[in-house]
Amino acid sequence: MRQRAAVDVAELVERARQSDPRAVARLITLVENDSPRLREVAERLLPYTGHAQVVGLTGSPGVGKSTSTAVLVTALRASDKRVGVLAVDPSSPFSGGALLGDRIRMQEHATDPGVFIRSMATRGHLGGLSAAAPQALRVLDAVGCDVILIETVGVGQSEVEIVQQADTTIVLLAPGMGDGIQAAKAGILEIADVFVINKADRDGADQVARDLRYMQSLGGAHSEPGAWRAPIVKTVASRAEGISDVVAAIERHRDWMDRTGQLQHRREQRAIAEIEAIAVEKVRRRIGEIHGIAGIAELAQQVVAAKLDPYAAADELLASITD
């Protein structure tokens, strides 16, 4: 392995910009693995970023996120958009495409040169999704994707984190999911830019739509003129029905964000979170370097033994790096 030539990041970026899928994959692997070249990758990609609209898809297991993602890709390709897909599995330690390989609908896109598909595991990643995703998104942005779809896979949907990464957030619902809306009520209104009621051929779809509209009418916050009110779109993703309406809603939301400065605002918020996450991660590493695993473990043992409170332990940890 040592014989392997050092990565030429400049060349890799050049090839990725010319849509070489292996170069794209290689770049994402570099940023995912937090390679020593990460920083150089970030610098070289920077000039090409800022174009893509990042669209997050979230919703309970079983609402049809994967199918919806796959047919959305088809619809976006039909209007000649370049599309990136980042499938995030917060619970899996595996990365690099294993999960997506199982998904037949997504395989249709696997050989399309205008589609870049990537799965990403965040378990065990220090800082989780918020640390791992921005760089992968930046790669997909820099290679010319017009739209990047982020989808969560499996249990433990970190929808809040997804929202933090997205320009536009789609919340998927489906009728007959038990306490669907009820369970989701608390946070759902605020995070959705577009509601999609999938499996709309089933009984209860109209009721879900009515419930959503009622919730929106209670919301109030979105009632001032010029505010964005999340549209409610019905789909049957398995038959690709209603998908063009979803694409239209995504485009309208992009236009609205452009017009109102929301796009700039959201991206600044995202950059703030990213910068802070990187800074905090650096501090964490510095703590690790100075104290080592053993030093922190010793403090932890004193906390468990009720000899030291955790705030005093944190002070001891920090004293050495900030003095």
Map the footprint of its own copies across residues 152-171, applying CB under 8 A. 153-160
Site for its own copies in 53-92 (CB under 8 A): 60-62, 89-92
Least Å distance, CB 289 to its own copies, is 12
Contact 109, 82 (CB under 8 A): no
Stretch that binds its own copies, among 68-76, 210-218, 233-241, 280-288 (CB under 8 A): 280-288
**Residue with smaller CB distance to its own copies, 218 or 304:** 304
Figure out which of the listed residues 107, 214, 268, 292 binds its own copies, where binding follows CB under 8 A.
268
Beta bridge partners of 232: 195
Site for its own copies in 185-224 (CB under 8 A): 185-188, 191
**Residue with smaller CB distance to its own copies, 115 or 161:** 161
Size of the residue set binding its own copies (CB under 8 A): 75
Least Å distance, CB 89 to its own copies, is 6
Neighbours of 322 (CB within 10 A): 7
Task: Work out whether 260 is an interface residue with its own copies (CB under 8 A).
Answer: no
Task: Work out whether 178 is an interface residue with its own copies (CB under 8 A).
Answer: yes
d(CA 219, CA 235): 24
| Site map 105..124 versus its own copies, x via CB under 8 A | ------------------x-
Question: In terms of C-beta density within 10 A (0-12 exposed, 13-18 middle, 19 or more buried), how is residue 227 classed?
Answer: exposed
Site for its own copies in 122-151 (CB under 8 A): 123, 134
Task: Work out whether 280 is an interface residue with its own copies (CB under 8 A).
Answer: yes
Figure out which of the listed residues 14, 94, 214, 258 binds its own copies, where binding follows CB under 8 A.
94
Least Å distance, CB 98 to its own copies, is 10
Task: Work out whether 177 is an interface residue with its own copies (CB under 8 A).
Answer: yes
d(CA 300, CA 312): 11
Figure out which of the listed residues 272, 285, 290, 292 binds its own copies, where binding follows CB under 8 A.
272
Figure out which of the listed residues 104, 218, 221, 304 binds its own copies, where binding follows CB under 8 A.
304
d(CA 256, CA 253): 5
Question: In terms of C-beta density within 10 A (0-12 exposed, 13-18 middle, 19 or more buried), how is residue 277 classed?
Answer: middle
**Which residues, other chains included, contact 231 with Cβ-Cβ below 8 Å and sequence gap of 6+?**
194, 195, 249, 252
Site for its own copies in 22-51 (CB under 8 A): 38-39, 42-43, 46-47, 49-50
Tokens of 39: 């920083």
d(CA 58, CA 187): 12
Figure out which of the listed residues 179, 203, 224, 289 binds its own copies, where binding follows CB under 8 A.
179
**Residue with smaller CB distance to its own copies, 48 or 256:** 48
Query: Which residue has 């088809």 as its token pair?
Result: 74
Neighbours of 222 (CB within 10 A): 13
User: Three-state SS across 97-117?
Assistant: CHHHHCCHHHHHHHCCCCEEE
β-pair type (115-121, 53-58): unpaired
